[in-house]
Amino acid sequence: MEKNKYTLMLPIEGENLVNLSNSILKEMGVQELNETFKDIDKQLSKKNYRNIILLIYDGMGSSILNKYLSKEEFLQKHKQRDISSIFPATTVAATTSILTGLEPAEHGWLGWDMYFEDDDETISVFRNTIKDTERPAKHKVKERPDMVYKTIIDRINEQTKNQAYIVWPFDKEKPCNTLDEINSRIIDICKSKNEANKNKKFIYAYYDNPDKIMHQEGFNSINVKNEMIKINQKTEELYKQLPPESLLIITADHGHIECTYETISENKDVYNMLARTTALEPRACVIKLKSNINKETFEKKFKETYKDKFKLYSKEEVIQNKLFGKKIKHSRVEENIGDYIAVATKDACLRYDEKGKTFKTYHAGITKDEMEIPLIMISS
């Protein structure tokens, strides 16, 4: 076992993805919504950059970068330091924080599965299906008025003369699925003429690997190694094609950890205390108790069953410790805390029952491998 495999880490105030996003807002002429990231502010102040590209590689935490790329490789050579994701360290919460400049407690997109009390449904929010099924939810999550948010792209385009773009697989008009497609689109935008050729451009770009491969094949797959080599190579190719006065910022939404699974339904003492299926993430697992259950009894049984694999936060402790952010401002947050959140501190995941999917690696817990991500900045 690596020495620091289970070192625990919470979001670092002032040095996480929310702060990065707010540094972008500030540089692009928009009033920031949260504290900025001082090291990034310093880099941005060095030059009047015409193009600022933020490139997110899903799942490329610092541990996976260190595993497959030597200190002489392009990405490692230009890494400034390690920073932190947000809690929970998962794509739904983290990418929404980057795209909004808001903490999860403010934007409300907390994890893969969220409970909606008005419909009494636990929904996989990106897929808009009932958890662990293919059945569609009663209402589309993205169309719920309280789940609609304004992106930093919107704010830049609406409030300034600068221009902002998104490059990713989900664009209806110009979807970019491969790294070659992403790079080509970024270069086209950077080299296109602005109005009066004076305004800045910001590009948010997202690629869904190495996350997708690691989930299915684990850390030690040759396909993960090859993907990291490709990412390193393609990023260097992108950099070499950027016009002068460009800044390329590269990071990830979260890291990964190899995991085992605990299935709650196999432990009837705990299972029979629950009012409904679990929510959020298998490594940041929301638990709602039946109304007649004594909380002290539950806590004792849970800790006996799962020992030191999870840190059990009560609803009050989640709020007190500001796990989702400094202040709860979104109406959906408290109903998605339930009575407890079981946060993974080792390698275990919690499944409600046998229908829950299993992956070889996962994230959303508070180990360093999940929370620590690289900050790579390269200027042309």
Does the pLDDT at position 92 exceed 70?
A: yes
- Structural domain for 42, as ranges: 17-109+149-257+367-379
11 in a domain, yes or no? no
Does the pLDDT at position 268 exceed 90?
A: yes
The predicted-structure confidence for 9-48, as pLDDT tens digits, reads as follows: 999 999 999 999 999 999 999 999 999 999 999 999 999 9
Mean pLDDT of 294-305: 97
Average pLDDT of the chain to the nearest whole number:
95
* Helix, strand, or coil (residue 155): helix
Same domain, 180 and 243: yes
Same domain, 238 and 91: yes
pLDDT band of residue 198 (cuts 50, 70, 90) is low
Mean pLDDT of 53-63: 98
- Please say whether the beta carbons of 349 and 262 come within 8 A: yes
Same domain, 332 and 208: no
Same domain, 231 and 284: no
Does the pLDDT at position 311 exceed 80?
A: yes
Spatial CA neighbour of 164 closest among 149, 186, 142, 180: 186
Mean pLDDT of 206-214: 98
Total number of domains in the chain: 2
Does the pLDDT at position 4 exceed 60?
A: no
Q: What is the pLDDT of residue 193?
A: 78
For the chain, how many helices (H) and strands (E)? 14, 17
CATH of the domain at 226: 3.40.720.10
Tell me the percentage of the chain whose pLDDT exceeds 90: 94
Q: Give me the amino acid identity at 370.
A: E
The separation between CA 90 and the C-alpha centre of its own chain, rounded to angstroms, equals 4
Same domain, 371 and 352: no
**CA 38, 42, 46 angle in degrees (round to 5)?**
165
116 in a domain, yes or no? no
266 in a domain, yes or no? yes
The predicted-structure confidence for 247-266, as pLDDT tens digits, reads as follows: 999 999 999 999 999 999 99
Same domain, 182 and 279: no
371 in a domain, yes or no? yes
* Helix, strand, or coil (residue 158): helix
Q: What is the pLDDT of residue 196?
A: 53
Does the pLDDT at position 1 exceed 50?
A: no
Same domain, 275 and 303: yes
pLDDT band of residue 289 (cuts 50, 70, 90) is very high
pLDDT band of residue 194 (cuts 50, 70, 90) is low
CATH of the domain at 323: 3.30.1360.110
Q: What is the pLDDT of residue 360?
A: 96
Orientation of helix 91-100 relative to helix 17-27, angle to 10°: 20
Q: What is the pLDDT of residue 197?
A: 54
Does the pLDDT at position 110 exceed 80?
A: yes
- Please say whether the beta carbons of 357 and 132 come within 8 A: yes
DSSP string, 11-45: PPTTSBHHHHHHHHHHHTT---SS---HHHHHHHT
Spatial CA neighbour of 48 closest among 209, 200, 270: 200
Mean pLDDT of 318-347: 95
Does the pLDDT at position 225 exceed 60?
A: yes
Same domain, 91 and 156: yes
Mean pLDDT of 150-176: 96
Query: How far is the C-alpha of 285 from the C-alpha of 84, rounded, in Å?
Result: 20
142 in a domain, yes or no? no
Query: How far is the C-alpha of 340 from the C-alpha of 295, rounded, in Å?
Result: 10
Does the pLDDT at position 207 exceed 60?
A: yes
CB within 8 A of 280, min separation 6: which ones? 88, 110, 111, 112, 113, 114, 286, 336, 341, 364
Q: What is the pLDDT of residue 149?
A: 97
Across 213-240, b (16+ Cβ under 10 Å) vs e yields bbbebbbebeebbebbeebbebbeebbe
Q: What is the pLDDT of residue 264?
A: 98
267 in a domain, yes or no? yes
Same domain, 353 and 375: no
Same domain, 211 and 162: yes
Same domain, 263 and 236: no
Same domain, 241 and 281: no
Q: What is the pLDDT of residue 167?
A: 98
Mean pLDDT of 137-164: 97
Per-residue tokens: 151 = 């992106």
191 in a domain, yes or no? yes
Mean pLDDT of 278-288: 98
131 in a domain, yes or no? no
Query: How far is the C-alpha of 231 from the C-alpha of 182, rounded, in Å?
Result: 12
Place of tokens 């932190």: 84
Work out whether strand 79-84 and strand 372-379 pair parallel, antiparallel, or are unpaired: antiparallel
Query: How far is the C-alpha of 95 from the C-alpha of 254, rounded, in Å?
Result: 9
**DSSP H helical ranges for the chain:** 17-27, 38-44, 62-68, 74-77, 91-100, 104-107, 152-159, 179-191, 211-217, 222-241, 268-271, 295-306, 315-320, 368-371
